[in-house]
Amino acid sequence: MPRRLSYREALREALREALLADPRVFLMGEDVGRYGGTYAVSKGLLEEFGPERIRDTPLSELGFVGAGVGAALGGMRPIVEIMTVNFSLLALDPIVNTAAMLRHMSGGQFSVPIVIRMATGAGRQVAAQHSNSFEGWYAHVPGLRVLSPATAEDARGMLAAALADPDPVLIFEHAQLYNLEGDVPDHTVVDTCSARVRLAGTDVSLITFGGCLPKAIQAAEQLAMLGISAEVIDLRVLRPLDDATVMTSVRKCRRAVVIDEGWRTGSLAAEVMARISEQAFFDLDAPLARVCSEEVPIPYARHMEEAALPQASKIVAAVQALLGSAP
Amino acid sequence: MIEFKLPSLGADMDEGTLLTWHVKPGDTLKRGQVVAVVDTSKAAVDVDIWHEGVLHELLVHPGEKVPVGTVLARLLEPGEVAATAVDAPAIAAHASRRAVSPSARRRAKELGVNVESVKGSGAQGAVTLADIEAAAHATTATPDRQTEMRKAIAAAMSRSKREIPHYYLAETIPMANALDWLQQHNKDRPITERLLPAVLLLKAVALALQRTPELNGFFREGQFMPSAAVHTGVAISLRGGGLVAPALHDVDNKPLPLLMQELADLVKRARAGSLRSSEMSDPTLTVTNLGDQGVESVFGVIYPPQVALVGFGSLTTRPWVVDGKVRAQPLLCASLAADHRASDGHRGALFLAELRDVLQRPESLDATATQASVQ
């Protein structure tokens, strides 16, 4: 019997399961212990597992992410929570220069089995410095696996798969998703290599991930009322990208709109579009299109923030532009 | 380049709707000339211009509402030449190549569809895959037509064999006289005016029918209705498969050269698929000639509601007894498939005998025509 869980509860269950299953696993980050996590994901875990395994850290991303990399090298299975992607910029060096590269630089002698979780995205009126979406930056780096769970099931299942990976894995949790509820199977096993068709359709592929998935589904529902059948692809894994699922969908629908909360220029959407034009050019029936964030620091004012971000209405408009008078 | 902007037509005006242009690109404009009508929130106002120059381009279309200060048009100053270099490539690029989606282009190639002739329904009017497939479907009506033709033949022939009690007769006809006459006739004529044996046979059939009218006409509603006119259906096989047997009209009354022309024209149009409806429904008897295929004789299936079909095999040279001596002679097997409801074998035999005799007197084929045309 699948259970109805919030994304937050699913994450917490996954953490608890990991902590119970493997004594090498520990959680470390700002306010993860006594405060229960900034997004209340780790609430109650300190009481259950104690301060050795649920470790509050100082406000120093460079320090505690570096410590996590060291622990992973030392044989532990650290789960490091960075409060939001915005602050991960302070830890770019241990993530990119160390964790991602050590296997290569050591000729395969070292691996860094670290899992780094972080909240990402905008939409909560927390202003520019707290509203970034840098998934695309990390997806640029070889040596990292970048996950973007967008459903409660993936929130529940991806952590175990990430911990089983001998190399560094980043998990991006969109802050708008924590309260989202979804069905979670009893023994959740998910992969960390494939994209998923979340909604089948025939006229246009809406390719997206993370916080934009609910918007894409909403857009698909609106398009259905206009007689346009949209297929929604959830990338799930941003590095390495699952080209096959994307191309299968695009070859069927012949039109694609990529939706990405990152800024347009140099976005992950741009990468997906480039791959489609490389691999499925002759299957296209219209130019590729994307709906990204406006190229501005995300505004604080609600109406401006909404205007800056991808929205279902923008997706619908983009699809209509692609279709001309066809179907 | 002079920019003509929407002026403020009153202190409280901050936008206006362009209603009409009174000028067009290329016009020479004078100071004070009324060039447009603009609707303000109060009234429609004639807008005049305070520059001299040649109107280069209109930037706002009638019906558009724009703020005061918007450039409505551009003018070339006296003596200025339009610097189109910047805009031209973009426009040219669009003009030189139609917007055809990659998948549509590929599919068009596969299906042999000319993309230039397909109307686009996609983004910015681009031709899409669906447009190509729709166009291909429209042009592949040919195979469908062949299927239809096959069905029609099947229906007619089944009906014929179901309803018509056929009897078959055959007669070998010496062709030496006819061929000699034909050779003589064609000798001094250019290729385009020469007669083919086929036209001689058609005419001979039409004349022979004068003695056996019960082979020429239709069997309808339980009885035979003879036809006064002889419209000979000519079986023509089509290159794509199937056959048609359109009519040559009034074969008995037309001179051979005219019949030759009409026959050539009929075959050409039959193969081009441009027959007239009368030609399809008029034949009173059908002639089929399978001689070109080298068969000796053909016993055909009557095309209802006709009551007879005359078949010719190939012209072959064989031993033949003439005046008690065996000679090499060109021979032709003529056959008759006839409807026993309309005629009996005796009458059919009479027809074939008459046909044989007529062909021994080829000059009469021509003479009759002359006589007929004199009448």
Most B-contacting residue of A247, A285, A320, A323 (CB-CB within 10 A), to test interface:
A285
Residue A304 domain boundaries: 196-323
- Does a structural domain hold residue A189? no
Three-state DSSP state, A40: coil
- Do A66 and A101 lie in one domain? The reply is yes
pLDDT for the residue numbered B338: 96
CATH superfamily of domain region B98-139: E3-binding domain (4.10.320.10)
A129: domain CATH number is: 3.40.50.970
Three-state DSSP state, A291: strand
Work out the mean pLDDT of chain A and round it to a whole number: 96
Q: Are strands B325-339 and B316-322 parallel, antiparallel or unpaired?
A: antiparallel
Nearest to B101 among A284, A321, A327 (CB): A284
Q: What is the dihedral of CA B317, B323, B325, B328, to 10 degrees?
A: -10
**Is A284 part of the contact surface with chain B (CB cutoff 8 Å)?**
yes
Q: Are B70 and B8 in contact (CB under 8 A)?
A: no
If pLDDT is split at 50, 70 and 90, which confidence band does A324 have? confident
Q: Which of B103, B97, B111 is nearest to A256 (CA)?
A: B103
- Does a structural domain hold residue A271? yes
Q: How far apart are CA B12 and CA B172, in angstroms?
A: 107
Nearest chain B Cα to A284, which residue? B103
Residue type, B222: G
Angle between helices A243-253 and A268-279 (to 10 degrees): 70
Beta-carbon separation of B123 and A283 below 8 A: no
pLDDT digits (tens, 9 = 90+) for B318-365: 999 988 999 999 999 999 999 999 999 999 999 999 999 999 998 888
Beta-carbon separation of A282 and B125 below 8 A: no
- Does a structural domain hold residue A191? no
pLDDT digits (tens, 9 = 90+) for B278-323: 677 789 999 998 877 788 899 999 999 999 999 999 999 999 998 8
**In Å, how far is B114's CA from the nearest CA of chain A?**
17
Q: Kindly report which listed range (A103-107, A148-152, B252-256) carries the lowest average pLDDT score.
A: B252-256
| pLDDT score of B142 more than 70 | no
pLDDT digits (tens, 9 = 90+) for B28-82: 888 888 888 887 665 667 788 878 888 888 888 777 788 888 888 888 888 777 7
pLDDT for the residue numbered A318: 96
Q: Are B209 and B368 in contact (CB under 8 A)?
A: no
Q: A140 catalytic, yes or no?
A: no
Q: How far apart are CA B51 and CA B73, in angstroms?
A: 12
A313: domain CATH number is: 3.40.50.920
**In Å, how far is B107's CA from the nearest CA of chain A?**
9
pLDDT digits (tens, 9 = 90+) for A63-75: 999 999 999 999 9
Beta-carbon separation of A324 and B106 below 8 A: no
Neighbours of A130 (CB within 10 A): 19
First to last CA, chain B: 84
**In Å, how far is B132's CA from the nearest CA of chain A?**
11
pLDDT for the residue numbered B86: 40
Taking CA atoms, A139 is separated from A148, A175, B137, B293, in Å, by 11, 19, 46, 74
**How many domains does the structure of chain A reveal?**
2
- Do A11 and A157 lie in one domain? The reply is yes
- Do A203 and A285 lie in one domain? The reply is yes
Beta-carbon separation of B130 and A326 below 8 A: yes
| pLDDT score of B149 more than 80 | no
**Residue that is last in its domain, among A184, A213, A234:** A184
Residues of B in contact with A276 (CB under 8 A): none
pLDDT digits (tens, 9 = 90+) for A233-279: 999 999 999 999 999 999 999 999 999 999 999 999 999 999 999 99
Nearest to A324 among B102, B104, B121 (CB): B121
- Do A176 and A200 lie in one domain? The reply is no
- Do A176 and A220 lie in one domain? The reply is no
**Residue that is last in its domain, among A184, A219, A253:** A184
- Do A292 and A313 lie in one domain? The reply is yes
| pLDDT score of B370 more than 50 | no
Domain boundaries, chain B: 2-76, 98-139, 165-374
Q: How far apart are CA B298 and CA B287, in angstroms?
A: 11
Sort B192 into a burial class: Cβ within 10 Å, 0-12 / 13-18 / 19+. Answer: exposed
Beta-carbon separation of B103 and A326 below 8 A: no
Q: A9 catalytic, yes or no?
A: no
User: Could you say which architecture CATH assigns to the domain B2-76?
Assistant: Beta Barrel (2.40)
Restricting to A residues 202-221, those with a Cβ less than 8 Å away from any Cβ of B are none
Nearest to A283 among B103, B123, B126 (CB): B103
Topology of domain B165-374, CATH: Chloramphenicol Acetyltransferase (3.30.559)
Beta-carbon separation of B123 and A327 below 8 A: no
ipTM: 0.72
- Do A173 and A212 lie in one domain? The reply is no
Beta-carbon separation of B101 and A323 below 8 A: no
Q: Which of A13, A81, A130, A173 is catalytic?
A: A130
**In Å, how far is A179's CA from the nearest CA of chain B?**
38
- Does a structural domain hold residue A161? yes
**Residue that is last in its domain, among A126, A152, A184:** A184
Q: Which residues of B lie closer than 8 Å to A, measured between beta carbons? A: 101-106, 120-126, 128-131
Q: Which residue has the higher pLDDT, B355 or A325?
A: B355
If pLDDT is split at 50, 70 and 90, which confidence band does B277 have? low
- Does a structural domain hold residue A157? yes
Nearest to B128 among A281, A321, A326 (CB): A326
| pLDDT score of B93 more than 50 | no
| pTM beyond 0.95 | no
- Do A144 and A229 lie in one domain? The reply is no
Residues of B in contact with A322 (CB under 8 A): 122-123
